[in-house]
Amino acid sequence: MARPRQHADTSSLTATVPRQFVHRASVAETLLTGWKRTGNDRFSIQAQWPRGHGLHVSPDWSAYDPLLVVETIRQAGTLIAHTEYGVPLDHQFVLQEFQVVTVEGRLSVGPLPAESDVDLVFADVQYRGRRLGGARYTARVLRDGDLVATADVAFTCVSPPVYRRLRDGRTAESVAVVPLPPGLAPAVVERALPSDVVLAPDDRPDRWQLRVDTAHPVFFDHPLDHVPGMLLLEAARQAAWLRRTGERPPAAYYAVFLRYAELDEPIWIEAKAVHGTDVQVLGTQGESAVFQCLVSTAAR
């Protein structure tokens, strides 16, 4: 007589959300594990942060980098736009603003991967016909009930035909990338690996060339026809380390993305100290600014 089949208790098992919902090719780079609607335009998203992320953990593995929080919030907004507002998976997202403030002492790495919750509120929701055309959302990131970060993000999303017109025929396959210049020493920008250094020295002490390595598995998790916003924010982070006037690490970013940063023309990163220990970073390409970011050690 056959014994009754034993069923495993799966109530505590965790899996990531489908990677397509957060525009990632790698499951390892998918940080979100679930979501639910909690009210009108309000959502709760769950995330898990690995103890040894390939980029956004300190070289001694003691602390998560605030840019891991940024990536979590970016993924959360993208997930909700697709799943709750019906944005098709083939639509492109254009980041306009990203402001984030992290709380000092709340990003330490523990003995287990960190479980975090993101409370998201969508506002200024705009439609083009029946499709979501853009929105602003605010986020509160919690870890064990304690506030880790707050954020304010604005984006638009466009259909494939509109995106092709905006990009004027540029594709990841057709664009030639600027040759990769030698980078700074990793230690001066608080990175462990030379491949994670995104700044190359220039004749001016307050200016660097952006290193765009399309083989980088985090910044270019999949082929792109432009420089991603997360690479520009990493450039702002590293420039702030170089221009810092105090010993506290960057904790807050107030970024505005002005236009696409192209792969086939050099991008220059300039930084100057303002407001005491804050650093103002500007990215330019040709005669135009592509983004600007105030990097701070605390909330303003």
> What's the domain range around 225?
170-296
CATH label of the domain that carries residue 60: 3.10.129.10
The token pair that represents 221 in the structure block? 């998790």
Number of structural domains (the chain) is 2
- 93, 179: one domain: no
> Which residue do the tokens 């109530």 mark?
11
From 112, 144, 165, the end of a domain falls on: 165
Q: What is the pLDDT of residues 244-298, one digit of tens each?
A: 756 778 899 999 999 999 999 999 999 999 978 899 999 999 999 999 999 998 7
* 255: in domain: yes
Report residue 129's pLDDT band, with 50, 70 and 90 as the boundaries. confident
- 87, 139: one domain: yes
- The pTM for the full model equals 0.94
From 110, 144, 165, the end of a domain falls on: 165
From 113, 136, 165, the end of a domain falls on: 165
Sign of the torsion formed by the C-alpha atoms of 71, 72, 76 and 79? positive
- 232, 153: one domain: no
**Alpha-carbon distances of 237 from 159, 189, 242, 251, rounded to whole Å:** 32, 8, 9, 9
Return the SS3 of 162.
Answer: helix
Residue 141 forms beta bridges with which residues?
118, 149
Q: What is the pLDDT of residues 26-42, one digit of tens each?
A: 999 999 999 999 999 99
The number of helix segments (H) and strand segments (E) in the chain equals 3, 12
